[in-house]
Amino acid sequence: MHVADKLDVLAAGARYDLACACGGGSHRVRGPLGRWVYPAVLPTSESMRLLKVLLSNSCSRNCLYCPQRRGRDFQRLSFKPAELAATYMEMFGAGAVTGLFLSSTITETAEAGMEDLLKTAELLRGAQLSLM
Ligand code: SF4
């Protein structure tokens, strides 16, 4: 599957996560590179554009309140950490985003899922440092 198609599905899955107070609906920015990009305001009043995406929507658990739960029937996909880091950096380089809101389901164990999130963050930190 093409990365852009995967991004569409996994970023759409992240819209349920309202932790950055920029949920679905009218605040989302649309465009060829701006799908699933949300504006966020920093404490300094500066604004940034967040790519909000799941590393995976394939969950081993079945929490009944959750749209990603195992018992629902929809397409299950995952990014590898390097794949998501490269995708984000491409969008960052094109000026489409200035931040990442990354979340995930629990694919196997919580520990393995957290390892993949951390791997993604480490790759992005390395990529950002190489730009300085
Ligand atoms: S573990 Fe998390 S992602 Fe998985 S079903 Fe429960 S709340 Fe949803």
- DSSP code per residue over 84-117: HHHHHHHHHHTTS-SEEEEE---SS-HHHHHHHH
- Summarised one tens digit per residue, pLDDT across range 66-85 is 999 999 999 999 999 999 99
pLDDT below 50 — which residues of the chain?
A: 22-24
- Which two tokens mark 128? 């950002």
pLDDT at 31: 58
Question: Is-contact 62 70, C-beta < 8 A?
Answer: yes
Mutate to test the pocket of ligand 1, among 56, 63, 111 (most ligand atoms within 8 A of CB): 63
Calculate how far, in angstroms, residue 110's C-alpha sits from the geometric centre of ligand 1. 10
CB distance 59 to ligand 1 below 6 Å: yes
- Summarised one tens digit per residue, pLDDT across range 95-106 is 989 999 999 999
pLDDT at 40: 82
Calculate how far, in angstroms, residue 33's C-alpha sits from the geometric centre of ligand 1. 28
CB distance 106 to ligand 1 below 6 Å: yes
pLDDT at 107: 92
Between CA 112 and CA 28, with CA 93 as vertex, the angle to 5 degrees is 75
